[in-house]
Amino acid sequence: MPPPPPPGMTLCRLPTATLGLPLSLPCLLSRPRLSLAARRARAVAARASSSSSSSSPDSSFGSRMEESVKKTVADNPVVIYSKSWCSYSMEVKALFKRIGVQPHVIELDHLGAQGPQLQKVLERLTGQSTVPNVFIGGKHVGGCTDTVKLHRKGELASMLSDLDIDINNS
């Protein structure tokens, strides 16, 4: 039995349907789970602060980050927002490597203070708070499980083919 996670962290495991990585590889999430009441309070506070100070430097910074994400996704056929230590991110990067596709990878944990801010921008844009956060052809496709499902159904190959990207059929 593995040791319990540090206080405030959640321990998660890979899904049973993996692409060859060990099933026991843990992935510590960067945020503790909040109660429903705490999430609602946080959402109310966020709405109040965003409506009262929409021209603040933070708001401007968030807008610039949002525009940067949109430009990155538009300029690159395959984009993965990732964390280098996350097993789910490793799984998706390994999948693309195996099929011979070179995605544009942004490692959020290598960006210093901008990493968590960028992750919040991604959550606002996609509704997904976790990594990997995968975009193909400018379209958000989801995370690891979503990308693996697309691959298994042959839809990932179709999406990449529509972008004139050849893949290895392995």
In this predicted model, what pLDDT tens digit does every residue of 34-93 receive, in sequence order? 555 555 566 655 555 554 444 444 556 578 999 999 999 999 999 999 999 999 999 999
The token duo for 34 is 């909040």
* Per-residue model confidence (pLDDT) at position 30: 42
Q: Give the phi and the psi of residue 28 in degrees, each rounded to 5.
A: -80, 125
Q: Cα(159)–Cα(77) distance, rounded to whole angstroms?
A: 10
**Counts for the chain of helices (H) and strands (E), in that order:** 6, 6
Q: Cα(29)–Cα(9) distance, rounded to whole angstroms?
A: 6
Which domains are assigned to the chain? 63-162 (3.40.30.10)
Which residue reads 């401007």 in tokens? 60
* Per-residue model confidence (pLDDT) at position 33: 52
Which pLDDT band, with edges at 50, 70 and 90, does 168 fall under? confident
- Asked if residue 132 has a cis previous peptide bond (ω within 30° of 0), the answer is yes
Q: Cα(89)–Cα(84) distance, rounded to whole angstroms?
A: 7
Predicted TM-score (pTM) of this structure: 0.65
Mean pLDDT of 143-159: 96
- DSSP class of residue 100 equals T
Which residue reads 């946080």 in tokens? 42
Which residue reads 């807008």 in tokens? 63
Residue 124 CB coordination number (10 Å) = 14
The token duo for 52 is 């009262």
* Alpha helix ranges (H) inside 7-162: 36-52, 57-75, 87-98, 114-126, 144-152, 155-162
* Per-residue model confidence (pLDDT) at position 63: 86
